[in-house]
Amino acid sequence: MKSLLLIWVIFLLLLGCEHTPTKSQSVESVEGPGGTDEANAQRSREILYATLWMQHSAEYRAAALQAFEGARAQLKTATKCGTAEAGQLQQSKGTCGAKSPWAKRPAAIIFDLDETLLDNSAYQAFQIKQRELYDDDRWEIWVKSEEALAIAGAVDFVKDASKAARIYYVTNRECRKPIDKVKDELKLRADCPQLLDTMSRMEKLGFPKAKDRSAFYLKGMYADLQSKEAIRQKIATKHRIAMLVGDNLKDFVESQAVYADNEAKLAPLWGKRWFIIPNPAYGSWPDVLSADADQEVSEACSHLATKKEKDYCAYRPEYEARMNKLKVWFPLE
Ligand SMILES: [Mg+2]
């Protein structure tokens, strides 16, 4: 499977993501576990333009360089104790006089990985070519392939950041099991292959601290840290959070609702303490297309045990809601 993936990735990198259906790839309404081949093809095709932009536009590269350059310009101010603007991460707030607890804490900068430091657009191109959806097992093969690229400007900025603060990589790349107490390499490989593969790739790309396991927080890596917000709060117990860099609102706040409720207070952090890298391919924003299916999904799928089962179950009502919404917004006849 890995070799197949690599062949496709190399092919797609050479050709961009030209989309030329063949007879064998023709769209058919075949029932799959979560929907139909037609539905899968539709969903994968939706990331075509975003993937083209990420792989071929000078503007995407420029936007990333601009974000990291802006962050670099703020490094000194953001990591200096006592000069932070008030934000959600209140540990950065306040004076840093001799009696202040903040004075004793080192500054920390937290980075998301995918589509913040690592460019996975080749995996997206593979999805389009294969007319398939994101899949956890396929993603793990992609991570193992170590084909992700560094986003423009990322390596140089993280190197600079590591000289000014303690850096952490907080990512939704996932461990199969928590590895809090795992020391044995074989067990570590079995329980969290994505950690080792990610560290290896990041080391080859030149990111600092890539060999330091304590710099990484993957999803499910620690049993008691089940969200990025929980991880940030954990890091904040021993650091002043100086800067956050991500591609999704949840790299900065617990939820969109929290941000919306506090936007007046939080928005001034953009460009000063918070830096966002554009990601046109995925995130929570496309959910607006399937929001109408929430009740149907709940009724049909809430009894299922695992997230994977629920995701498959939700696929059909979400797909139908998306199609209905698109028909209203973009009627073709
Ligand atoms: Mg990300």
CA of 319 to the centre of ligand 1 (A): 24
Spatial contact of 158 and 207, defined as CB atoms under 8 Å apart: yes
Share of the chain above pLDDT 70, in %: 81
User: How many CB atoms neighbour CB 134 within 10 A?
Assistant: 14
CA of 53 to the centre of ligand 1 (A): 17
Which of the four pLDDT bands, split at 50, 70 and 90, describes residue 14? very low
CATH tag, 33-277: 3.40.50.1000
CA of 226 to the centre of ligand 1 (A): 16
Q: Give the per-residue pLDDT at 43.
A: 73
Tell me the C-alpha distance between 166 and 132, whole Å. 39
Q: pTM of the prediction?
A: 0.82
Q: pLDDT per residue over 173-194, tens digit each?
A: 999 999 988 889 899 999 999 9
Tell me the C-alpha distance between 40 and 26, whole Å. 12
Q: What residue segments make up the domains of the chain, in order of their start?
A: 33-277, 286-333
Q: pLDDT per residue over 114-137, tens digit each?
A: 999 999 999 999 988 888 878 888
CA of 118 to the centre of ligand 1 (A): 8
Q: Give the per-residue pLDDT at 62.
A: 98
Q: Give the per-residue pLDDT at 330.
A: 72
Helical (H) or strand (E) element with 102: none
CA of 116 to the centre of ligand 1 (A): 6
Average pLDDT of the segment spanning 92-101: 56
